[in-house]
Structure 1
Amino acid sequence: MTNLQSFLLLTSKCRLSGKVRGKKHPSGSECDNRYHPDDTPVVALSTGWFHSGSRCFNNITIRAKGRSVVAMVVDECDSSVGCDAEHDYQSPCANNIVVASRAVWKALGVSREDWGGLDITWSDA
């Protein structure tokens, strides 16, 4: 089990994402084309870690601030394209990004005003 240094995000730079957080979006998540509610611990991984969908529905353990949470991979945060209509005007992700639902932030004990960016480690659960 390898721990990967990463950065946890809630929002994108171009516009809020709806894919993982359950808001209206032209398409659902990459893994199942469905919406996932905000109260469910789910994540999107950067393109390289998403690995063409091989991590779909796998759980990862995210660690930060002395806590950990298990979340299911349901989407990709595309590291190669973005900021266009096809990608819901989301900016391309860096190659070390985990985009998380609000349930993940709450489980890590991050106060709401600090949601948006956090250094983490994660591993396959």
Structure 2
Amino acid sequence: MQQREHSVCCVEGGLYSPFNCSPPVTHHTEAYLTLNSFEKNGDGGGPSECDSKFHSDDILVVALSTGWFNKKGRCFNKITSSGNGRKVKAMVVDECDSMRGCDEAHDYQPPCANNIVDASKAVWVALGVHSDDSGGFDITWSDA
């Protein structure tokens, strides 16, 4: 696999499973936290789905897998992510596309799994997650 700025890129000829649903949301929904840049020219690809804008990596923002994103139904809502003995509230600004990927619009990354909270660096810092865990980190989340 190739990597570009800590992101895993698609492998030529690779097969990737699309997901249009995610596990049910509860008070402690299990998820996998991934690191994303929401800035222009960052590894998140294009502007955010909710507002067609880019966002600083220094603010608490997340993208949710397609099913949890709920056709923009969670746009601008806050979620509470818990992990590493800490909690943080962050605003949903984007979809972590579980249906499409491996193209320029998705920064040549595979489709997201159905259990992803793709978070800005600020969320990782607030949760105290170490940079060497940048591949991902198990968390729980709920609507705030």
- Give the TM bin, normalised by the shorter chain: 0.7 to 0.9
Matched, 1:83 2:107: no
Matched, 1:23 2:48: no
TM-score, length basis structure 1 = 0.87
Residue of structure 2 equivalent to 1:7? 32
Aligned counterparts, 1:53-64, within 5 A: 53-64=72-83
CA RMSD across the alignment: 1.5
Q: Choose 1 or 2 for highest CA Rg.
A: 2
Q: Residue 33 of structure 1: which of 46, 52, 64 is its match?
A: 52
2: CA distance between counterparts of 1:66 and 1:85?
A: 37
Q: Calculate percent identity across the aligned residue pairs.
A: 60
Give a deviation string over 1:65-96, Cα, whole Å, max 9, x none: 11000000000000011001233212100000
SS of 1:48's equivalent in the other structure is helix
Alignment-mate amino acid for residue 29 of structure 2: L
| Bigger relative contact order (CA 8 A; separation at least 6) | 1
Count of matched residue pairs: 117
1: CA distance between counterparts of 2:126 and 2:71?
A: 28
Provide structure 2 residue ranges, at least 5 long, that are not aligned to the other structure.
1-25
Give a deviation string over 1:94-114, Cα, whole Å, max 9, x none: 000010000000000112222
1: CA distance between counterparts of 2:105 and 2:121?
A: 24
2: CA distance between counterparts of 1:41 and 1:116?
A: 19
Superposed displacement of residue 23, structure 1: 3.2
| Segments of 4+ moved more than 6 angstroms | none
Matched, 1:50 2:69: yes
TM-score, length basis structure 2 = 0.76
1: CA distance between counterparts of 2:107 and 2:133?
A: 24
Higher mean Cα deviation, 75-84 or 107-116? 107-116
Residue of structure 1 equivalent to 2:6? none
